[in-house]
Structure 1
């Protein structure tokens, strides 16, 4: 099993918000530039995160996003589940039909591993990631680029239309 970019990017973006907590709202465009994640992809992720109340948005000039709860209340598992990612190691995706419609011989082993990983991720908060030194100094939010990124420029034009 491998966590997809959806889950990894959601955790990265949420950690970016946590690192800038108390410094005003953070725009998706700023996260896009500092983390190298497409703006349209972030919009999809943040719609799901907003629906689960993990982030709250402020509209208008000077708007952006804040964490919906404190960094100590948001777990990595909360984030991954909010964007519809699942940590599942069974071949059948937990449906117990991995071998000709029946549970395979090792289903319990892989199911238990999935549970252990979920518990592990559910025990780690954004604050833990910051406190454990997982934090790097956040990239400045207003980054000057010498060459425009065609993907970001396309996203901006699409939003303006």
Structure 2
């Protein structure tokens, strides 16, 4: 198993979708802004997550991504496998050791075992537990979607009448009456 930056970004983005998702689909631009992950990276990650049935996409205005399952049913291992694969490469046939070379078979078995244990551990951590942890830390959820223009007022308000001359001639006439 490989733990890569892509995998970390994917877990972070999935937490974001789980946090923001109850209000509707979350667009990648807002995730990019909040998490400071490039939009092109997110597009690649979400294509893989969608292929592995972890997210669903909604097209059109107000569209974006939402979880395809409940957060309690998605584990960190599911996300990592979708992005990086399981990392458990197929066993390579043993080649005879060269004279004087150290047999690497023992260490290969060790790292394969470590990878299996890491995946087993990550299978116990659900997306819901990570979301709950973020909420406990005080992470705020955006309640409003992308800012939209406020609607124009429908009723026109008449300006208050002004008691002042509206031209030079009206000013002259007003001053002539006073003298």
Q: What's the TM-score bracket when you normalise by the shorter of the two chains?
A: 0.7 to 0.9
Match of 1:128 in 2: 129
Residue 32 (1) aligns with residue 28 (2): no
C-alpha separation in 1, matches of 2:3 and 2:26: 25
Contact 1:94 1:111 in 2 (8 A): no
In 1: Cα distance, 2:140 partner to 2:8 partner: 17
Q: CA deviation at 1:20?
A: 1.3
> How do residues 22-61 of structure 1 correspond to structure 2 at under 5 angstroms?
22-61=22-61
Aligned residues: 139
Mapped to 1, the partners of 2:25 and 2:96 lie a distance apart of: 52
The answer (yes or no) to whether the contact 2:20–2:26 under 8 Å persists in 1 is: yes
**Which has the higher Rg, Structure 1 or Structure 2?**
2
The answer (yes or no) to whether the contact 1:7–1:85 under 8 Å persists in 2 is no
1:72 is paired with a residue of what secondary structure? Answer: helix
Please say if residues 55 and 68 of structure 2, whose CA atoms lie closer than 8 Å, have aligned partners that are also in contact.
yes
Give the structure 2 partner of residue 74 of structure 1.
74
- What's the TM-score once normalised by structure 1's chain length? 0.74
Q: 1:59 to 1:19 in 2, by over 3 A?
A: same
Distance 1:79 1:104 in 2: 30
Counterparts of 2:118 and 2:41 in 1: how far apart (Å)?
26
Partner of 1:112: 113
**1:22, distance to aligned residue in structure 2 (A):** 1.0
Change (3 A) 1:99 1:36: farther
Query: For residues 39 and 104 of structure 1, what CA distance do their matches in structure 2 show?
Result: 42
Unaligned runs of 5+ in 1: 145-161
Q: 1:23 to 1:52 in 2, by over 3 A?
A: same
Q: Which residue of 1 aligns with 2:13?
A: 13
Take 2:82 and 2:64, find their aligned partners in 1: how far apart are those partners?
19
Give distance in 2, aligned partners of 1:77 and 1:104: 26
